[in-house]
Amino acid sequence: MTEAEQTTCLTCTLLRRLRRQQLPRVFAIKARLDLGERVSMDDIRYLRDSIADAMRTKLVFDRSPDLAQVSAKIIALYRDITLEALQNEAGLHA
């Protein structure tokens, strides 16, 4: 398998995992935060691991302009969730 084929397979796998596993849970956490709830310790661990994973995935996605945009949006989503979680924790939810 060529390097280009390996990169394509890796990218497809990462996108599939993102769509099927990561985004549904992240959006569920976001929905609870939007209601003013606080994150649980399980949520914090999951978000910590997901952010670390997103940073590693960014290295692969940055090879393609389209995927670089996807990567930037994912990282922005994690930033927004983190900020909202901190606001909820401080009792500043609007």
Domain boundaries, the chain: 3-90
Which pLDDT score, from 0 to 100, does residue 43 have?
A: 96
Residues 6 or more apart whose CB falls under 8 angstroms from that of 62 comprise 68, 71
Distance of alpha carbon 77 from alpha carbon 50, whole angstroms: 11
The pLDDT assigned to 41 comes to: 96
| 8 Å CB contact between 47 and 83 | no
Supply the pTM of this predicted model. 0.85
CB atoms within 10 A of CB 71: 21
What pLDDT score does 64 carry?
Answer: 86
Q: Residues 64-83: pLDDT tens digits?
A: 888 999 999 999 999 999 99
Burial class (CB in 10 A: 0-12, 13-18, 19+), 50: buried
What mean pLDDT is predicted for residues 21-35?
Answer: 96
